[in-house]
Amino acid sequence: MTHINIASLEVGQEIGKQEFWFTRDSLVRYAGASGDFNNIHYRDDVAQAVGLPGVLAHGMLTMGAAVQVAVDWVGDAGRIADYQVRFTKPVVVDAREGAVVLVSGKIAEIDAENKIVRVDLTATFNDTTVLGKAQVRVRL
């Protein structure tokens, strides 16, 4: 049972913000966990050879981190009913400084009858939106 009273929610209400710091070590660990060992996620020379500005964070790593804002708000990952994003820009992870992705969530739609709330996430890196149309449906 969630602690959130749906009657107290309003469209436009912010549900939380988080910063996610990705390092090259993060990318290697994610590659091991996901099985995605594409060289563009850990080798600058390969990334640049295919026209990229540098090593990129895995899109699914960025997507997975971003949804954590909604999970923390609702308190249970099992309450995520649906989650969709469009990958709009890459997250370039500097070898020394890493990359910080800022994520915030706002209530966009409330279906009180079915106890479903749509949360729109905004994920930015270097002031650029990296996930478009990031929408999470949360079952309360």
Look up the CATH superfamily of 12-21+58-139: Hotdog Thioesterase (3.10.129.10)
Per-domain boundaries in the chain: 12-21+58-139
Tracing tokens 């609702």 back to the chain, one arrives at: 74
Sheet holding 80-87, edge to edge: 14-22, 99-111, 116-125, 128-139, 80-87
pLDDT at residue 119, rounded to an integer: 98
* Residue 19 confidence (pLDDT): 98
Task: Tell me what pLDDT residue 88 has.
Answer: 97
pLDDT at residue 127, as a whole number: 97
Q: What is the pLDDT of residue 78?
A: 97
Residue 67 makes CB contacts below 8 A (sequence gap 6+) with 80, 83, 121, 136
Low-confidence ranges of the chain (pLDDT < 50): none
**Which pLDDT score, from 0 to 100, does residue 59 have?**
97
How much is the pLDDT for 3? 84
Cα separations (Å) of 78 from 12, 60, 93, 110, 112? 24, 19, 30, 19, 19
Instruction: Decide: 16 and 119 in contact? Cβ < 8 Å.
Output: no
Query: Model's pTM, two decimal places?
Result: 0.94
**CA trace torsion 66, 79, 14, 58 (10° rounding):** 10
